[in-house]
């Protein structure tokens, strides 16, 4: 089970700079449109202060944070859905992502050209949204061409799909994203099957100048340039640099946290073979499926799970103390794993 975030936006908005800072992976960030033709992919360790506190108590030989994948997708332009700027190729890359991180340029820089010739964050956001909407309309129209004649002949599946497709088409033609429209559980099955771009979770990241970060408290704003500089510093130097700008944590941490939020993901921990490891699963994942995240055989052979909340474990100073104080509990197959659980899976 892997989760990926596609980073999109117009050319020269700072996508590749953000990606480079996220992954510390050197990619081409040259100042010209479409410098990113093939998507760059990087696996990023998810920052989690709970690992540090658990490490202080458990003293593991190795600590393995959970990870999430970021994909730097080339800049989209107006009419990308028609193939402008190699748009069709780029849209296919977005379709493979679990969620979309839309980078919007807010910073001024006369040395970095804007594809539209002027800075207009609202218009830029609308351009990207419309391209995603138009691409989805093409997908839905194609499916409608297949379904309508079958529905007229009385085929049950087609008759059931037709009103859902028409509902999606109506949403898109109104200029709305599919993820803003409520669907029943039955309707969601078809929506997921279509794998529409605008049905994915989408969140905006405003790329601002270093001096303007504080002005965007109510939005997810970062300075990709600042983040790139921070990624080259030691942990201590980076913290001191952040404090100069009045920031508590890197913007990249907030981007990753937002990705987890929109994808409705949680983290649980295991401590096997003196290895403390974090794992990612969707909310409302049952214990056997969480065990299967570690190894497929664990799900098949699941018997029970020994569970303790990470705060309780840290507060007890050791697993032995936690057991003596009755903080460790046994859970069965129907247990829904909670964020921050430390779990020992028992299999047979």
14 is in an annotated binding site: yes
Cβ atoms 85, 75 nearer than 8 A: yes
Task: Write out the H or E segment, with its range, that includes residue 304.
Answer: strand 302-309
- Is 13 annotated as ligand-binding? yes
**Is 83 within any annotated ligand binding site?**
no
Residue 62: phi and psi, rounded to 5, are: -140, 145
Residue among 67, 68, 81 nearest 132 (CA): 81
- Listed in order, strand segments (DSSP E) in 9-134 are 40-45, 62-64, 67-72, 99-105
Hey, what are 88's tokens? Answer: 């069709």
What is the distance between the alpha carbons of residues 275 and 279, in angstroms, rounded to a whole number? 12
Query: How many angstroms separate the CA atoms of 56 and 58, rounded?
Result: 6
- The label of the residue with tokens 């200029």 reads 175
Whether 167 has a binding-site annotation, put simply, is: no
Q: Are 50 and 277 in contact (CB under 8 A)?
A: no
Known binder of ligand: residue 12?
yes
* Residue 340 CA to its chain's centroid (Å): 19
Residue 15 marked ligand-binding: yes
- Helix (H, G, I), strand (E, B), or coil: what is residue 79? coil
- Side-chain half-sphere CA neighbours of 102 within 13 A: 22
List of residues 6+ apart from 167 with CB closer than 8 A: 181, 183, 187
Residues 139/196, Cβ–Cβ less than 8 Å: yes
Structure tokens at 95: 């379709």
As annotated, the binding site includes: 12-17
As annotated, the binding site for ATP includes: 12-17
């Amino acid at each position: 089970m892997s989760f990926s975030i596609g980073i999109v936006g117009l050319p020269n908005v700072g996508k590749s700079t953000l990606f480079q800072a996220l992954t510390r992976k050197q990619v081409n960030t040259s100042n010209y449109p479409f410098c990113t033709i093939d998507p760059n992919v990087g696996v990023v360790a998810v920052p989690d202060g709970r690992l540090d506190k658990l490490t202080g108590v458990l003293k593991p030989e190795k600590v393995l944070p959970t990870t999430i994948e970021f994909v730097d997708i080339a800049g989209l332009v107006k009419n990308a859905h028609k193939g402008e700027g190699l748009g069709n190729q780029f849209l296919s890359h977005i379709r493979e992502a679990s969620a979309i991180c839309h980078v919007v340029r807010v910073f001024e820089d006369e040395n970095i050209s804007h594809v539209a010739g002027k800075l207009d964050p609202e218009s830029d956001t609308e351009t990207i949204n419309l391209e995603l909407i138009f691409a989805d309309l093409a997908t839905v129209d194609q499916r409608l061409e297949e379904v309508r004649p079958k529905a007229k002949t009385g085929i049950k599946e087609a008759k059931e799909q037709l009103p859902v497709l028409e509902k999606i088409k109506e949403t898109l033609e109104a200029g709305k994203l599919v993820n803003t429209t409520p669907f029943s559980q039955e309707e969601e099955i078809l929506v997921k099957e279509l794998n529409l771009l605008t049905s994915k979770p989408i969140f905006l990241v405003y790329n601002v100048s270093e001096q303007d970060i504080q002005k965007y408290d109510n939005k997810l704003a970062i300075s990709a340039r600042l983040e790139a500089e921070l990624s080259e510093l030691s942990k201590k130097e980076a913290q001191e640099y952040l404090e100069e700008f009045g920031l508590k944590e890197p913007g990249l941490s907030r981007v990753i946290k937002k990705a987890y939020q929109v994808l409705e993901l949680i983290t649980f921990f295991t401590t096997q073979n003196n290895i403390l490891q974090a794992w990612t699963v969707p909310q409302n994942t049952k214990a056997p499926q969480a065990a299967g995240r570690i190894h497929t055989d664990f799900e098949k052979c699941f018997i029970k799970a020994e569970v303790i909340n990470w705060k309780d474990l840290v507060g007890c100073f050791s697993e032995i103390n936690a057991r003596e104080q009755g903080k460790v509990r046994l859970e069965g197959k129907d247990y829904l794993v909670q964020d921050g659980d430390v779990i020992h899976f028992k299999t047979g």
